[in-house]
Amino acid sequence: MPLSSKLDQKLRAAEESSDDEEYYEVTDRSSSPSIIETGDGGELLDSEEEDEGGEEGSEDEDMSADAEEEEAKAQMSKVSFGALAKAQDALSADRKRKRKRGEEPSKPQEDKLQALRERLQEIKAAKLAQGGVSQPKPKAKARPTKGEEEKKKDEYDDSGSDSDTAPAARSSKHAPAVQTSKKAVSRKRQVVDAKKPKFRDPRFDVGAPPDENTVQHRYAFLNEYKQSEINDLREAIKKTKNEADKEKLKKKLISMESQMKAQRNKDQQQNVIREHKKMERELVKQGKQPFYLKKSEQKKIALIERFQNMKSKDRDRAIERRRKKATAKERKNMPDERHDARVYLFVPDPYFSKSREAPDGWDCGVRGMVLRQQNDGITGYIAVMSDLRSPSLPLLHPHRPHRPDLPPIPPRLRPLILRSNSRSLPHPRLLLPRPPLHPPRHLLSASTRLHFTTRTVFAHPLPYKTTHDLIKGVSLFGYKRAGIVKATDPTLRPDSTEFFNIAKDHLHAITPSRSYPAEITEKETWILLQTVAHDAHKVGMLVLRVLATQLGIPPTSFTRKNEFAVRSGDHVRLTHKPARVSDSTTAAIGLPSHTDFGSVILLFNWLGGLQIQSYDPSTPEQWDFVRPVDGTAIINLGDAMVTFTNGVLKSAKHHVVDAPGEQGRVDRYSVVYFVRPHDEAVMEAVEGFEHLGGKGRVAGKFEAKVGGGAVGGGVDEAKGGAVR
């Protein structure tokens, strides 16, 4: 079929339809490749040339009707509407462009356009004259793709109008050229942005999280289900034979149990808050200021409650876990300064050694140690007295020569040392061992809290306290009342100090516990006691390692004789000495002079009263006060160290008297921890010390020679070995 007749059909279809859509269809087809790409329409110029040719043809009046029709068709096919429309588009676009730039269309273009218009009209007229050929409506001739304006323009063109309105801008070339008149134009205008209500579908939309407690309360029945599920799981585990399945079930059980546990803990904390609020409400009604618990306090109270409701084994395990966790955390967060903390080992000034008679074979003695708290840690200061004249001076080991160029003691520390040993160590120098030191952080605070919480235990009447008596020669643990006269004390005065010895083995369930007063076994106190035992032992081990290193022997030489987990006589001692009752020095003594049996003894006291015997040869009988320093523990070496080192290290002789001045007016309490060799440790000199002086000596012998006082023993009931 010739292209022209195709075109005719299309035009006719367009003519028959008044529908916009049909109109668009024609529009689309006119721009479809079937017309443009065939080349029939050709280039604009070609079309024009052809148009001209067509014009000539139409003027031939002698043609037969058929021939004329054929001719007209040929002309039509030559000058296609596509080409014409394209030409018009180009012109109008050109015009538009120019108009946009504010230019008027140029004369030749106007002429061309005019020529085209005339030509179109001529063709139309010829067609009308012929009568038989259907005519496309002018509307269809137009190329509506270029918009309504152009369509209108074409219509006006057909009617010879020159009206030329500016074409409306379209959002894109694909946007409809005309706006349908069928669509109602809204008269409403959005002036203010009104917020549309947003509707929520509770099935899918997650709103603000509901209050956790409310949810817990409402869904409390789930806990019952969970519990029954746990029971089912337990049953299933019992019945299941397949190991892999069993493992899976076990894992699930553990996870469910820990979920339940976490929930219980949360509930407990909530209870604490609730109870506290209730109490506070009451108090506020009475006119008190409200007091709110901090989160940490809430946790603490809940924790204490939890511990109280635990069985002792579970509690121990829980405590141990918490301690490990806390220690690991502490260690991780420890500033470098603390990583570098040092234990200073002091050796005396030569002045001292020159002026004092050294006992046979005994070269030096540890006089006492002071631990000082620094940046939450504890730095140990070990005061050592030594006789430099001795040919075998292990403290100045050949590998660790005493170097006078070592850094001086920091001035901050000097008063501390000089205060407690002002006579024996006037100008101490120091050797600097660098053991890894991670001192337990809670030791001092735990002992301080213990000091306050256990006052009540001594407030009981004597008959009650004596129901927990220690049994001399049988058990070292329990109560020792005041008023005991020690044969070892030269003054033979009765002592005024009562104390409770609480075994490390009882605290840490290494052996079954004996009975203690309720205030001691009360959970919070028991936990504090456990902390003191554990941490003080750790400090003791540190001191022993340092000493071994300084003595040039393997660092574990002493520690392996004092293992924490092995049954031993280690204990925490809580002491109480009433305030001064008389100024008479003969009435009573706090504690008579003695040395301690153990290896290392840590003393936490808050009032003066402890005295150590002077080593100053000019005042051999003089007692020097060891002034308590806040945040400080005083460390002594016990008789066991004398034995282990064959007398190279000494135990210091000490006693307790009324605190001087005002301090003497108040009751004195102290907390002591005795690190003692475990039950299986052989009480003999360690390697490297066997040949020093024959058999191992104990402090008593040392005392007898140096101080000229009574032979050891003192208040240590178990000296010589007690049955536990």
- Give the C-alpha separation, 534 to 551, whole Å: 26
Residue 489 CB, nearest approach to ligand AKG (Å): 13
Map the footprint of Fe ion across residues 472-501, applying CB under 5 A.
none
- Give the C-alpha separation, 572 to 602, whole Å: 10
- From the list Fe ion, ligand AKG, none, partner contacted by residue 656 (C-beta under 5 to 8 A by kind): ligand AKG
Query: Which C-beta is closer to Fe ion: that of 409 or that of 715?
Result: 715
Phi (first) and psi of residue 197, to 5 degrees: -65, 135
Rounded-to-5 percentages of helix, strand, coil across the chain: 45, 10, 45
Among the listed ranges 131-139, 174-182, 408-416, 595-603, the one in contact with Fe ion (CB under 5 A) is 595-603
Q: Are the beta carbons of 503 and 571 closer than 8 angstroms?
A: yes
Residue 720 CB, nearest approach to Fe ion (Å): 16
Query: Which C-beta is closer to ligand AKG: that of 142 or that of 591?
Result: 591
Which burial class, exposed, middle or buried, applies to 27 when counting CB atoms under 10 A from its CB (0-12, 13-18, 19+)? buried
Residue 678 CB, nearest approach to Fe ion (Å): 20
User: Is 703 among the residues that bind Fe ion (CB under 5 A)?
Assistant: no
| Long-range CB contacts (within 8 A, 24+) of 448-453 | 448/604, 448/606, 449/528, 450/525, 450/528, 450/529, 450/532, 450/572, 450/574, 450/671, 451/604, 451/606, 451/669, 451/670, 451/671, 453/519, 453/524, 453/525, 453/528
Task: Give the residue from 296, 262, 292, 254 showing the smallest Cα distance to 276.
Answer: 292
Task: Give the residue from 92, 214, 215, 216 showing the smallest Cα distance to 143.
Answer: 92
Query: Which C-beta is closer to ligand AKG: that of 87 or that of 672?
Result: 672
Residue 311 CB, nearest approach to ligand AKG (Å): 33
- Give the C-alpha separation, 379 to 629, whole Å: 13
Query: Which C-beta is closer to ligand AKG: that of 75 or that of 575?
Result: 575
Residue 607 CB, nearest approach to ligand AKG (Å): 9
Among the listed ranges 115-123, 306-314, 593-601, 689-697, the one in contact with Fe ion (CB under 5 A) is 593-601
Residue 679 CB, nearest approach to Fe ion (Å): 21
- From the list Fe ion, ligand AKG, none, partner contacted by residue 141 (C-beta under 5 to 8 A by kind): none
Closest residue to Fe ion, judged by C-beta, is: 596
Query: Which C-beta is closer to Fe ion: that of 315 or that of 654?
Result: 654
- Give the C-alpha separation, 387 to 365, whole Å: 8
Query: How far is Cα of residue 393 from the mean position of the Cα atoms in its chain?
Result: 50
Residue 654 CB, nearest approach to Fe ion (Å): 6
Size of the site for Fe ion (CB under 5 A): 1
Residue 594 CB, nearest approach to Fe ion (Å): 6
Query: Which C-beta is closer to ligand AKG: that of 421 or that of 557?
Result: 421
Query: Which C-beta is closer to Fe ion: that of 505 or that of 717?
Result: 717
Residue 672 CB, nearest approach to Fe ion (Å): 7
Task: Give the residue from 542, 567, 568 showing the smallest Cα distance to 556.
Answer: 542
Task: Give the residue from 625, 652, 648 showing the smallest Cα distance to 637.
Answer: 652
Query: Which C-beta is closer to ligand AKG: that of 378 or that of 589?
Result: 589
Residue with tokens 């001691």: 520
Task: Give the residue from 410, 340, 369, 398 showing the smallest Cα distance to 603.
Answer: 369
Which burial class, exposed, middle or buried, applies to 204 when counting CB atoms under 10 A from its CB (0-12, 13-18, 19+)? exposed
Query: Which C-beta is closer to Fe ion: that of 344 or that of 669?
Result: 669
- From the list ligand AKG, Fe ion, none, partner contacted by residue 77 (C-beta under 5 to 8 A by kind): none
Encoded one letter per residue, x for contact with Fe ion by CB under 5 A and - for no contact, window 403-442 reads: ----------------------------------------
Query: Which C-beta is closer to Fe ion: that of 498 or that of 596?
Result: 596
What does the chain come to in residues? 724
- From the list ligand AKG, Fe ion, none, partner contacted by residue 717 (C-beta under 5 to 8 A by kind): none
- From the list ligand AKG, Fe ion, none, partner contacted by residue 14 (C-beta under 5 to 8 A by kind): none
Residue 256 CB, nearest approach to Fe ion (Å): 53
Residue 418 CB, nearest approach to ligand AKG (Å): 20
Question: Mind giving me the DSSP string for 101-120?
Answer: TTPPPPHHHHHHHHHHHHHH
Considering only residues 51, 596, 624, 703, which one is a binding residue for Fe ion as defined by CB under 5 A? 596
Map the footprint of Fe ion across residues 206-265, applying CB under 5 A.
none
Instruction: Tell me how crowded residue 333 is: count the other CB atoms within 10 A of its CB.
Output: 8
SS (H, E, C) 240-255: CCCHHHHHHHHHHHHH
Q: What is the largest CA-CA distance in the chain?
A: 165
Sign of dihedral through CA atoms 546, 549, 551, 553?
Answer: positive
Sign of dihedral through CA atoms 106, 112, 116, 117?
Answer: positive
Residue 670 CB, nearest approach to ligand AKG (Å): 3
Among the listed ranges 7-15, 42-50, 181-189, 591-599, the one in contact with Fe ion (CB under 5 A) is 591-599
Residue 451 CB, nearest approach to ligand AKG (Å): 11
Closest residue to ligand AKG, judged by C-beta, is: 670
- From the list Fe ion, ligand AKG, none, partner contacted by residue 612 (C-beta under 5 to 8 A by kind): none
- From the list ligand AKG, Fe ion, none, partner contacted by residue 298 (C-beta under 5 to 8 A by kind): none
Query: Which C-beta is closer to ligand AKG: that of 7 or that of 589?
Result: 589
Query: Which C-beta is closer to Fe ion: that of 553 or that of 706?
Result: 706
Residue ranges binding ligand AKG (CB under 6 A): 573, 575, 591, 596, 603, 605, 610, 654, 656, 670, 672, 715
Query: Which C-beta is closer to ligand AKG: that of 120 or that of 591?
Result: 591
DSSP state of 427: S
Residue 499 CB, nearest approach to ligand AKG (Å): 7
Query: Which C-beta is closer to ligand AKG: that of 430 or that of 656?
Result: 656
Q: Are the beta carbons of 675 and 537 closer than 8 angstroms?
A: yes
Instruction: Give the pair of three-digit tokens for residue 618.
Output: 């000019």
Residues near Fe ion, by CB under 5 A: 596
